[in-house]
Structure 1
Amino acid sequence: MGKWIFAMTSIIIFKVGLSLDSAKSCRKRTSPLGGEELICSNASTSLLRNNDFILSKTHWFTCENCTLNTLDGTTFNFTKNSINYLYLISSQIVTIKGHAFVKMKFLKIVNLRNNSISDLDPESFTNLTRVTQVDLSHNSLRILTNNLFSELANLDLLNLNHNTVFYIQPDAFKGLSNLRHLYLSHNRLERLEGYVFKYLPNLLLLYLEHNRIISIDSFAFANLSNLNALYLNNNSINFLTQYNFKPLNSLVDLQLRRNNLVEVQTSAFNGLTNLKHLYLGNNRLRTVKRYGFVGLDNLQNLDLIGNDLKHFDLSHVESLRKLNMLWLEQNRLTNLSIDVKLEPLNSLYSLGINDNNLTVLNYKLLYNKMPNIRDIFIYNNSWNCELLISMQQFFQELNVSLCMSFDCNPEKNKHVLEASSCDVRLKEEESDEDFDADFVAEAGTCCRFSVILVLVNLQMLVFV
């Protein structure tokens, strides 16, 4: 009898202790969405496992700076809950086992950011058919295994940024037919394999920035016919195969800045009939092959900033009938070729050729081929004064901004001319014109005076 009383007393004391710990670690408040939120700070797995929380009215659970380590089917003792939002940020999670969230069948958003997750069971998200967003960013995932997210049938957004992913197995994204936003930036991918995104027919945005991607398989983007934006900035891509992006017929925005591309291959972008923005800045481009931009029927902005181009022929963009802006600044251009037979680029209104090595420019032919141009950025080149003055006068009469500074300020343009001593020549020309005019006027006066003297002398002779 005494042993039984002792055991019961121990259990009661243990539960009271847990309740006290729970009261200290967890609190409820009104969530940002207006409902009830349970917040636990510095809690451990045992605290969550051994407390029967009543969460029938709670739709948001947050664990701040907790020590959870491993999540499994017994971690959350939430027998009755209506939790929609689960935030387990910075909670030292390393492993998530199968059925870890099985007791939270109403979940919509799962945020597991900033942990150390390296082991993710394929059944971790079992029965989470209502979940639309999963954030696994800032973790330690290395391989995305087959069927890893297959239970998340209604997932709209998957954030895998800032992991160490170097390999994606062929069926890693199986079951994610409704996914629209995929973030895979700041990982260690070196190659995009063929058909790697084949299970994502409704994907709209794909972020692959800051990886180590060197090559892209010809069929890497197969079945992504609805993709609108593809971001591949800050990788090591050195070559694009012909028709690399052909399946992406809905793509609007393609960014390939800061890679190692050395040339634009023939038909490299063919098939991107709806593309409006192409960013190729800060590569090592030296050559644009003939028909390099063919097929870009709706392109509006072309960024070629910060490459190694020494020569650029405007015939490269002749087929881009809707091109609005062409950025060629910060290259090594010494020649901008304009063929007299070139079809006018009637949609082009902004041209950037600043920060190059240009000394000559057929600006009248340029205007002839760009009749609707509004801004031409020419600063930081090697123009001589005569050409600079002629261009300024020519475009000023046409109400076209010839920008000699970054912000295209007219006052700064004046200062540029002054700093380059072009204003001295302007003043000398004006002075010469004034001198000539004064000389003509004085000569005219002398002539008139001489005529008068002759007439007076004639009259005197008559009277004599």
Structure 2
Amino acid sequence: MNAYKFLGFVSLWLLAAQTDAVYVRLSNMDMMKCSYGERGSLTATCVNATTHYFKSTPYRFDHLDETLRCVNCTLQTLESGSFDISGNQIRNLDLSRSLIKTIRQKAFVGLIFLERLILANNEIESIYPGTFIGVKKISYVNLENNTINILSADGFLELISLQELNLRNNHIANIATSAFNGLVKLKILDLSYNEISDVKGVFNNLTSLEVLDLSYNKISNLKGEEFENLTSLLEVRFNHNFITSIPAEEFFNMSALRRLDLSFNSINKIMAGSFWGLYALEDLDLSYNNIAEVPQKTMQSLHNLQHLNISNNVLSVFQTGLYSGLPQLRVLNFSNNAIEEVEVTGVFSMENLDTLDFSRNNITDVDYVTLISRLPKISYLNLEDNLLPCDLEKDMEQYFEEDNFKFILYRNMQGAVKCVDKPIVKQNKHRNLSRKDSLVAAEGASGGSSAAHIWIFTLITIILILIGALYYIQMRTYRELQSFSIKRTTSEVQLISSADLEARDNDYLKE
């Protein structure tokens, strides 16, 4: 009897559980709904939807719903034709945070007006070929914060109008060489925060690409062949990788590039031709590396460079001559290095430099008069946290008291190096000049390059005049010799003719 009661109790419990499950499903169905957004927003919001709900909902998607937004949805697998909704004019589809894991082929068929697709913050593992069949107008795809680890061949092949692709913060380690086939109009590609180590041959077809973000990856070697066809690039971000060196002509074909970020790497070697061809480059960031030397002519082709950041490296010497060939350079940052000497080299000025930062180095003295003479437009000089003598600040204040020029020698912060109370190692020969004499000296120094130009021009002119004079003398001598030779020949002919006639006359008389 007890057994029958137990079985009856179990049966009643199972029936109740089944009833509750049906009730939950019905409740969820009741909770699934799509509704209009605020007036004028042209947005429809679907709540608690599943994959099959969109085709079965009585809600009508028309011209008033340019955007479809899914909130608290559980989509998991997007089957083929999941959004094949009759009469829809959806242009923006937001499926972020919808627990999507798999996307089947033709999943977005029917969304013929779709332009922006947001699939961020899901659990998508891969993008398979055929996923985007039927949606040729898409210009923006966001796949940020998923679990993609491989970009397969032809995964985006149908997106012929795509201009921006965001694959940020996935687990991408391998990229097929044909992964981006078909993306002939792509301008922005974000592959940051992944596990990419090799990109050789990956970007060959992206001839319209303007912005490439490869920051926060595992790239260690550049082989000089990664960017051969990327002639439209305006910005490249390599920061936070493991790059150790830059091959010569690595960026040679990027004649339109304006910004190059190589900060936070392990670069210890720069070759003289590392930046050849970057004629339009405006911003170069080499901070937080292990650079100990900048070779001669490294920057010679950077005619439009405006900002150069080499802070947080291990440079020991600064030479003005290495950067005087950059006519547009305005900001030069050498903070946090091991610089002990500031050397004024070469004959040319850094014509447009406005800001120069030497903070947090090992500089013990600086010939600021000679240095400033090569910087005609300088307005800010930072020398804080160095080993400078204590009397330098007063001297500089007197020297620049009438100028619109700001300089910083010491920071009023706890732990900061104030100054060194000891004799100056390298005495500034202009230190005791009066203000008037100092200005004259500065003018003379700043005119050094002009004087050098005049001297070179004069020397060349004198050489040309001497060459011309020698040529004239040589030609005149040649003509005189030629004339004398002709006369001599004529005289000899005449003498021979007279002698012959006289001999003939004598013979005639004898006969």
Category of TM-score, reference length = shorter chain? 0.7 to 0.9
> Which residue in 1 is equivalent to 2:297?
291
SS in 1 for 2:391: helix
2:393 matches 1:388: yes
Aligned to 1:161: 168
Residue 357 of structure 1 corresponds to 362
Q: 1:160 to 1:33 in 2, by over 3 A?
A: farther
Is 1:67 aligned to 2:70, yes or no? no
1:103 aligns with one of 110, 116, 132: 110
Identity %, equivalent residues: 28
Match of 1:129 in 2: 136
Alignment of 1:175-214 (within 5 A): 175-193=182-200, 195-214=201-220
SS in 1 for 2:398: helix
- State the alpha-carbon separation in 1 of the partners of residues 35 and 235 from structure 2: 41
Match of 2:94 in 1: 87
Distance 1:279 1:36 in 2: 42
Match of 2:276 among 264, 270, 275: 270
Segments of 5+ residues of structure 2 without an aligned counterpart are: 1-22, 422-511
C-alpha distance in structure 1 between counterparts of 2:150 and 2:315, whole Å: 39
> Structure 1 residues 366 and 145 mapped into 2: Cα distance closer, same or farther (>3 Å)?
same
Asked if the contact 1:205–1:227 (Cα under 8 Å) also holds between the matched residues in 2, the reply is yes
Q: Per-residue displacement from partner, 1:235-264 (whole Å, max 9, x unpaired)?
A: 111110001111111011111110111132
Shift of 1:50: 4.5
Show the counterpart of 2:338.
332
1:56 aligns with 2:62: yes
**Equivalent AA in structure 1 for residue 93 of structure 2:** L
- Residue 366 (1) aligns with residue 368 (2): no
Please identify, of 327-336 and 45-54, the stretch whose mean Cα deviation from structure 2 is larger: 45-54
In the TM superposition, what is the alpha-carbon distance from 1:342 to its structure 2 partner?
A: 2.8
Q: How big is the shift at 1:353?
A: 0.4
Residues 311 and 336, structure 1, Cα contact 8 Å, conserved in 2: yes
Contact 1:52 1:77 in 2 (8 A): no
Please name the residue that 2:381 is paired with: 376
2:227 is equivalent to residue 218 of structure 1:
no
**Corresponding residue SS for 2:396:** helix
Alignment-mate amino acid for residue 243 of structure 1: E
Q: 1:430 aligns to what?
A: none
What is the CA–CA distance in structure 2 between the aligned matches of 1:74 and 1:317, rounded to whole Å? Answer: 60
| Structure 1 gap segments, 5+ residues each | 1-15, 407-411, 423-464
SS in 1 for 2:44: strand
Q: Which TM-score applies when normalising by structure 2?
A: 0.73
Q: Amino acid of the residue matched to residue 47 of structure 1? A: Y
Aligned partners of 2:28, 2:218: CA distance in 1, in Å? Answer: 47
Partner AA of 2:379 in structure 1: R
1:449 aligned partner: none
Q: Which moved more, 1:21-30 or 1:207-216?
A: 21-30
1:215 aligned counterpart, secondary structure: coil
Kindly tell me: are residues 287 and 421 of structure 1, through their superposed partners in 2, closer, same or farther at Cα, counting changes over 3 Å? closer
Q: Indicate the SS of the match to 2:397.
A: helix
Within 5 Å, give how 1:305-320 maps onto structure 2. Answer: 305-320=311-326
CA distance in structure 1 between the aligned counterparts of 2:402 and 2:170, rounded to whole angstroms = 57
d(CA) in 2 for partners of 1:84 and 1:125?
A: 15
Q: Distance in 2 between matches of 1:390 and 1:208?
A: 48
Number of matched pairs: 397
Aligned to 2:480: none
| Residue identity opposite 1:76 in structure 2 | F
Report the counterpart of residue 233 of structure 2 in structure 1: 227
